[in-house]
Amino acid sequence: MKRPITTTINERTRDIVVAPNRTLLEVLRDELGLRGAVEGCGVGVCGSCTVLVDDRPVSSCLMLATNAEGRTITTIEGVSRDGELSPVQRAFLEQQAFQCGFCTPGMIMAVEGLIRENPNPDEAEIRDYLSGNLCRCGTYSAVIAAVQSVVVQARAETENSRPAAH
């Protein structure tokens, strides 16, 4: 039997009706038209369906949609602002951190999760956090360079925004 739930998706509160056996990924793609998250393996291994739930990355293929109730979901469609790419998206473009692009939405959401939890990760922390997001084109080193450039940029902006010493 379907049940109504209230959830926040990309900063918009939604009242939706979901079947008990539907995953969050299926509801996002088939019912809400958010097709950025894609299904690779369907068993939580590849990471291409990564979305943030309350700012943490999860495999949306292994989360029952009903459990989105009362949660805040962020998908790749929700990271850009007013038509502007997010710093992570820009860095992926600048560093050419993708080739075929299948893993990219999930990869970017995992990086968004990392930066939100730890704005200043070192390389070991980046590798550890992203180790479960697979890229069969092998763009890993470019992905790490992209994350590092976001970190460096954010640090520079923080320093510039400090009031100048007299």
Partner 1 sequence: MRRFQLIEPDSFDAAITALEKDPGAKAIAGGTALLILIKHGVYLPETLVNLRKIRGVAGITFDPKKGLRIGALTSLYDVERHPLVRERYPVLAEACHVVANIRIRNLATIGGNLAHADYQSDPPAALVALDARLELSSSSGTREVALSDFLLGAYETVLEPGELVRAVLLPTNEPGWRGAYLKFTTRSSEDRPAVGLTALIRMEDDRCVDARLVVGAVTPTPVRMTAAEAVIRGRKLAGDLFAEVGSIVERTLEPIDDLRGSASYKRRVAGALTERALERCIKQGGPQ
Q: At 73, give phi and psi (nearest 5°).
A: -105, 135
Contact 145, 58 (CB under 8 A): no
Q: With binding defined as CB under 8 A, does residue 105 bind partner 1?
A: no
Residue type, 63: M
Q: With binding defined as CB under 8 A, does residue 108 bind partner 1?
A: no
Q: At 74, give phi and psi (nearest 5°).
A: -125, 125
Q: With binding defined as CB under 8 A, does residue 67 bind partner 1?
A: yes
| Among residues 47, 78, 87, 121, the one that binds partner 1 under rule CB under 8 A | 47
| Among residues 28, 29, 36, 57, the one that binds partner 1 under rule CB under 8 A | 57
Q: With binding defined as CB under 8 A, does residue 98 bind partner 1?
A: no
Q: Which of residues 132-161 bind partner 1 (CB under 8 A)?
A: 132-133
Q: What is the layout of strands, in order, in the sheet containing 72-74?
A: 12-18, 3-9, 72-74, 50-53, 56-59
Strands 12-18 and 3-9: antiparallel
Where do contacts with partner 1 occur on this chain (CB under 8 A)? 1, 3, 19-23, 42-45, 47, 50, 53, 56-59, 62-64, 66-67, 69, 110, 113, 129, 131-133
